[in-house]
Amino acid sequence: MPSAFSRLRPEDKPVVISAAFIVVILILGTVYTLITQGSAPLFSPNYLLQQLQTGAFLGIVAAGMMMVILLGHIDLSVPWTLTAAAMMATAVGGEMALPTGIAVGIAVGLVNGLGVAYLRIPSMIFTLGVDSVMRGLMVWHTGGFAPQDQATPLMRFLAAEKLLGIPVAIFVWVLVSLVIVTILARTAFGRSIYATGNREAAAYLSGIRTRWVIVGAFVISGICAAIAGILLAGYSTKAYQGMGNAFLLPAIAAVVIGGTRILGGQGRYVGTVVGVTLIVLLNSVLSIMQMPEAGRQVIYGSVIIGMLLVYGRDKRLTG
């Protein structure tokens, strides 16, 4: 008789597996803190809200990354798109800080999309080159030194303040999530993303303007990276060089762990949210355990590889 797990739809299995890993991480972390500290902070509402607040930055980056991965592409320009948006927002300041930061994300997304869709340059190569260009521009902008500009009050409010006892950054993440879910589930553009990711040639022959779908997905990725950069600058009270470097691989990992097929065409946004939560809690528990950096990297990589191997056992999921 088939088990309940085997009766799940292929796209639901990664969500269930990731959720199970989250429970395991919470249990292990709780047992460790009870033994070593005599308390269990992992189940404290304040602790969980704090983790979700910092996880919101990664979650927003991953939301945009998912749109690109659904097409079978990748956006490696995220680190310096995020950094450039934060630097330009803090440099301009005032009421134009947020529009300026988002404009940076749109501009980078357009360049990426046009390069991949019209020049047909592989996204991994083109976006890596754009990332290098953005890094050079920001080093030139700052003269190689840390910028002296400070985040605006609105940026600090969005990233670090609370509303009804809940960090505002979580509300921003929820808003971005609602937009992404609506696009994927309720719009022709969202359906075109899945169709193009499954087979671009067939989507083109069916009348879908696949090139503009690719451009649109990269623009969304750029906007999400810019929003995350603005929030991170508000959380840190300033922008700094390399602030986006820590978000690239975790964002890709969260999307893939959540069940989005790396070759495109299949994935659910709820899986990305669960993947982000898993990564944030894993890093938190390893910090509580005071795990050395080398050990963290080994465990972090092992969890990712292990979960991908589990998914790989289902031929229907991996195609």
Each residue's pLDDT tens digit, 8-63: 666 677 788 888 888 888 888 778 777 776 666 666 778 788 888 989 999 999 99
Q: What is the dihedral of CA 44, 15, 279, 306, to 10 degrees?
A: 130
DSSP 8-state code for residue 166: E
User: Domain 13-27+45-312 belongs to what architecture?
Assistant: Orthogonal Bundle (1.10)
Across 12-21, 108-117, 256-265, least confident range: 12-21
Mean pLDDT of 289-303: 71
Q: Which residue has the higher pLDDT, 117 or 297?
A: 117
Residue 316 has pLDDT above 60, yes or no: no
pLDDT value, residue 164: 87
Give the start-to-end residue ranges of the domains of the chain.
13-27+45-312
CA 68/CA 245 separation, integer angstroms: 19
Residue 303 pLDDT class (50, 70, 90 cuts): low
Each residue's pLDDT tens digit, 216-229: 999 999 999 999 99
Sign of CA dihedral 235, 160, 33, 22: negative
Mean pLDDT of 265-290: 87
Whole-number average pLDDT of the chain: 86
Across 204-208, 253-257, 260-264, 301-305, least confident range: 301-305
Q: Please state, for a pLDDT cut of 90, what percent of the chain lies above it.
A: 54
Each residue's pLDDT tens digit, 177-209: 999 999 999 999 999 999 999 999 999 999 999
CA 146/CA 142 separation, integer angstroms: 7
pLDDT value, residue 246: 86
DSSP-assigned beta bridge partners for residue 166:
163
Residue 96 has pLDDT above 50, yes or no: yes
pLDDT value, residue 318: 39
- CA angle, residues 118, 122, 124, in degrees to nearest 5: 130
Helix pair 269-288, 168-186: axis angle to 10 deg: 150
Q: Which residue has the higher pLDDT, 317 or 50?
A: 50
Mean pLDDT of 98-112: 96
Q: Which residue has the higher pLDDT, 34 or 121?
A: 121
Burial label for 289, CB within 10 Å (0-12, 13-18, 19+), is: middle
Across 4-8, 185-189, 241-245, least confident range: 4-8
Residues 6+ positions from 75 with CB-CB distance below 8 Å: 64, 65, 68, 112, 123, 127, 218, 221, 222, 225
